[in-house]
C-alpha cells in the first residue's frame, strides 16, 4: 500500500517541510521507518537522534524514534542539542548513523531532518531512496531499543582541548533564540572569552528576530550591542547553530567571502599550499 507523503520534502541535502502539512506524527514515523531500514540494509544497527527547540521537534522525536525502533534499529536519544553537537555524537558515541531534527534557519512553522550514515551526511539519491522506501512500504521489521546519552560536557571538553586563545576576547553572541544557548555561552566562557549574551534563551517562536545571521536585518541588534558594549567582535547564530554571521568592533558585518579570506590566511600559515574551496 502506497503511503501518502509529499515528495517535495525530500530535498538535496535534507528532509524539510511545513509542520502539520508536510510533516505530521504519521509522516515522521514513516520517515523513521525509512531511515532505520536504510541504515540496517547498509550494515548498521544504532543511530543517535538529537532535536532543536521548536515546539514540533519533541513530538517528532517521539514518532521518528518509534519508526526507527520498529525496524529493529536501536536509538540513542542525545536530547535537545545544536546540530554541531549531533555531528560530534557520531564521532564520540560511534553509532552507525544519526538524525538531527531541526528547521535550521527557517521560520518556526518549518521543521526537518538532517541524516547521517556513519560519519557521512545523506544527500541526493540517498535521500530519494528514503522516499522510495516509503512509497513502496518496504520496511524492515524488528524491535529496537531506546537509550539516552548526554554528550554536551564531552563536546565542550573536546573543543577546549583543541582551541587555545592567547587572551580573553570581549564578544557579543546573538543566539537568535536557537540552540546555541544550550551550550554556546558555557563553551565560550570555558575557553576564556568575555561574553555578552543576546537572545540566548532557546525559544522556537523566535520572538526577537528570524534566526538567519546571513541576512542583514537579523544582525542589526547584534551590531548595535557590539558598539554599545565596545566589544571586539559579535557572532550571530542560526536556529541550530551550524551557521554564523560576524560583525567587527565597529558593528560592520563581515560577509562570507571576507570570512573565507580570514580563515584561509590562518590555514595557509600552518599548511602552506593547502587548497581552499569556497562556495558561491
Same domain (yes/no): 136, 266? no
155's CB contacts (< 8 A; 6+ apart) are: 84, 85, 88, 92, 183, 187
Helix axes 25-41, 57-69, angle to 10 degrees: 40
Hey, what's the cell of 130? 528514503
Q: Which of 196, 187, 189 is nearest to 235 (CA)?
A: 196
**pTM (2 d.p.):** 0.94
Per-chain mean pLDDT for the chain: 96
Residue 205 belongs to domain with CATH number: 3.40.120.10
Cα 105 to Cα 223: distance, rounded to the nearest angstrom: 19
Same domain (yes/no): 128, 208? no
The domain boundary residue, chosen from 99, 125, 152 = 152
- Count of domains for the chain: 2
For residue 4, what pLDDT is reported? 76
The answer to the question of residue 95 being in a domain is yes
**Which of 56, 89, 104, 116 is the catalytic position?**
104
pLDDT digits (tens, 9 = 90+) for 224-276: 999 999 999 999 999 999 999 999 999 999 999 999 999 999 999 999 999 99
Quick check: is 104 catalytic?
Answer: yes
Same domain (yes/no): 210, 247? yes
pLDDT digits (tens, 9 = 90+) for 42-90: 999 999 999 999 999 999 999 999 999 999 999 999 999 999 999 999 9
Secondary structure (DSSP) of 127-189: HHHHHHHHHTT--------EEE---HHHHHHHHHHH---SS--EEEEE-TTSTHHHHHHHHHH
5's CB contacts (< 8 A; 6+ apart) are: 22, 27, 30, 131, 134, 135
For residue 271, what pLDDT is reported? 95
On the question of pLDDT at 1 being above 70, the answer is no
Helix axes 25-41, 125-135, angle to 10 degrees: 120
Hey, what's the cell of 173? 553572541
Q: According to DSSP H, which parts of 18-121 are helical?
A: 25-41, 57-69, 83-92
Same domain (yes/no): 134, 200? no
Amino acid at each position: 500500500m502506497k503511503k501518502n507523503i509529499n515528495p517535495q520534502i525530500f530535498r538535496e541535502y535534507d528532509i524539510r517541510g511545513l509542520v502539520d502539512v508536510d510533516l505530521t506524527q504519521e509522516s515522521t514515523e514513516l520517515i523513521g521507518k525509512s531511515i532505520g531500514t536504510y541504515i540496517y540494509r547498509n550494515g548498521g544497527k544504532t543511530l543517535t537522534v538529537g532535536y532543536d527547540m521548536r515546539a514540533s521537534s519533541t513530538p517528532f522525536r517521539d514518532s521518528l524514534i518509534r519508526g526507527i525502533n520498529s525496524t529493529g534499529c536501536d536509538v540513542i536519544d542525545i536530547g535537545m542539542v545544536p546540530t554541531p553537537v549531533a555531528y560530534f555524537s557520531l564521532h564520540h558515541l560511534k553509532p552507525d548513523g544519526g538524525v538531527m531534527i531541526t528547521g535550521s534557519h527557517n521560520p518556526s512553522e518549518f521543521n526537518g531532518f538532517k541524516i547521517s550514515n556513519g560519519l557521512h551526511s545523506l544527500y541526493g539519491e540517498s535521500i530519494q531512496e528514503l522516499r522510495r522506501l516509503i512509497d513502496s512500504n518496504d520496511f524492515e521489521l524488528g524491535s529496537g531499543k531506546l537509550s539516552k546519552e548526554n554528550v554536551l560536557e564531552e563536546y565542550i571538553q573536546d573543543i577546549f582541548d583543541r582551541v587555545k586563545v592567547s587572551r580573553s576576547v570581549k564578544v557579543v553572541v546573538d543566539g537568535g533564540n536557537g540552540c546555541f544557548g544550550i551550550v554556546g555561552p558555557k563553551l565560550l566562557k570555558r575557553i576564556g572569552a568575555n561574553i555578552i549574551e543576546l537572545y540566548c534563551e532557546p525559544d522556537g517562536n523566535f520572538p526577537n528576530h528570524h534566526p538567519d545571521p546571513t541576512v542583514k536585518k537579523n544582525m542589526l541588534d547584534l551590531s548595535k550591542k557590539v558598539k554599545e558594549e565596545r566589544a571586539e567582535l559579535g557572532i550571530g547564530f542560526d536556529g541550530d547553530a551550524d551557521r554564523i554571521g560576524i560583525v567587527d568592533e565597529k558593528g560592520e558585518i563581515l560577509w562570507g567571502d571576507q570570512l573565507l579570506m580570514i580563515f584561509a590566511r590562518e590555514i595557509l600559515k600552518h599548511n602552506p599550499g593547502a587548497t581552499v574551496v569556497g562556495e558561491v
